[in-house]
Amino acid sequence: MAFLIRIELVNEEPVLIPKSRQRGNHFPGLDYIPGSVIRGALAGKLAASGQEDLIKDVLGHGSLISNFYGHGNLPIPSTVLRCKRYVVNKKHSVLNMADTDDKQYLCEICDAPLVSCEGYFNFLSAKPVYKKNNAQMRLVTHNRISSETGTSSGKDDDRGGANLYSAEVIERGQEFVGYLSWKDRGLRDELLDALRAFKGKPFMLGKMKGRGYGKTEVCAMDYIDDTTVGAEILRSCRLEPDKIKTFTFLQDTLFLDKFLQSTSIPDSNDVHDVSPAENGSWFNYRTIQGFNMKRGVIHPAETVATGGSTFFSEEEITPDKIKLIEEDGVGARRCEGFGVAVCGLAEAIKVEEVDWDVK
């Protein structure tokens, strides 16, 4: 059975996490911290403190590091649509397709077709609110300094002397919450010890560290037993936790429909009586690319349900079935690390504050 550690970070200096390639003299930035960035920072920190042997346990197979989002925020599921006028006037509709049989997908106020909705829910507020941005962002402008002359003359600049560039950074003082999860519970104490070493020491993230950006600190850490990340998601969907069983993917998961086409929606055979569309499931999907090194061929692009996606069931799930799902995984391509999942009742979750000072 997997376990989770919940981590809160606060950035003491602005952080730049590039969203895409630089566009001209502009670096667009993300408003969250991807799990892969945390993974790299952890590896660097462990290597720098001479704990190379731990890197395999911390970051190896069976480990998952979630994206770190602003406190209380989760990305809106890809099943949610909104009216294009919603941003200006909150009376216009937001609709979760997973909650409704309405096939029209039209705004109740103006009848406009609903469009997909990128942004966040704040699940700590009484009513989940659509928010476009997660963390506070700031645009900063810099002078590119020539390494040859030490000035901004731009002589050795390969972009033809364009010296000013701007970057979209996450403002200082932003709090982020994310989860680290492992399959092997035997690693618990070792991992908590390794993570304690981060307390009170700066944790550098993102690009432009040399410019004094990226200083982040771990400010709180909790251990979560008998886990499912579904608890916070359950609250965000306003479901009654004691009636619902959650089923949460810890890794991206690939399903096939009856025509063997890839899909992000599990077949009921895969998930043993869990019927996602009827119960307000919470999921995102993305397209993955693959490469077979042995044969030197590219796999076709496939649709996967992303790690963190959660499905709910009001059916009875026996302990034997739960064990089967957790041990064998779900979906296709399990041997490649897809389809790791945990089942759990929200009420079973026990959060333990981690004592920083234990040696």
The residue (of 94 and 145) whose beta carbon lies closer to Zn ion is 94
CB of 231 within 8 A of CB of 346? yes
**Closest C-alpha to 12, from 218, 183, 156:** 218
CB of 109 to Zn ion, least distance (A): 5
Binders of Zn ion among 6-65, rule CB under 5 A?
none
Closest contact distance (angstroms) between CB of 96 and Zn ion is 16
Q: Considering the complex, state which of residue 39 and residue 85 has its C-beta at the smaller distance from Zn ion.
A: 85
Q: Which of 322, 324, 339, 316 is nearest to 267 (CA)?
A: 339
- Minimal CA–CA distance to 98: which of 324, 325, 358, 285? 285
Q: Angle CA(55)–CA(60)–CA(62) in degrees, nearest 5?
A: 140
Residue 110 beta carbon to Zn ion: minimum distance, rounded to whole angstroms = 4
Q: Residue 222 is encoded by which pair of tokens?
A: 């909790």
Print the binding letters for residues 82-121 with Zn ion: x by CB under 5 A, - otherwise: -x-x------x--------------x-xx-x---------
Maximum CA extent, the chain: 72
- Tokens 């550098």 -> residue: 204
Size of the site for Zn ion (CB under 5 A): 7
Residue among 85 and 334 whose Cβ is closer to Zn ion: 85
Q: Work out how close the CB of 116 gets to Zn ion at its nearest, in angstroms, rounded to a whole number.
A: 15
Neighbouring CB atoms inside 10 A of 154's CB total 18
In this complex, which beta carbon is closest to Zn ion, that of residue 94 or of residue 219? 94
Q: What CA–CA distance (Å, rounded) separates 330 from 229?
A: 17
CB of 276 to Zn ion, least distance (A): 27
- What count of residues does the chain have? 359
Q: Which is nearer to Zn ion, 85 or 188 (CB)?
A: 85
Region of 329 on the Ramachandran plot (φ > 0 left; ψ -120 to 50 alpha; else beta): left
- Smaller CB distance to Zn ion: residue 88 or 335? 88
- Minimum distance from CB of 143 to Zn ion (Å)? 45
Query: What's the CA gap between 231 and 249, in Å, rounded?
Result: 13
Looking at the Cβ atoms of 85 and 215, the one nearer to Zn ion is 85
| Positions in 281-310 near Zn ion (CB under 5 A) | none
Nearer to Zn ion, 112 or 124 (CB): 112
Closest contact distance (angstroms) between CB of 111 and Zn ion is 7
Contact 164, 142 (CB under 8 A): yes
What's the closest the beta carbon of residue 77 comes to Zn ion, in angstroms? 20
Q: Where are the alpha helices (DSSP H) in the chain?
A: 35-48, 52-59, 188-196, 230-236, 268-271, 319-328
Residues at the interface with Zn ion (CB under 5 A) = 83, 85, 92, 107, 109-110, 112
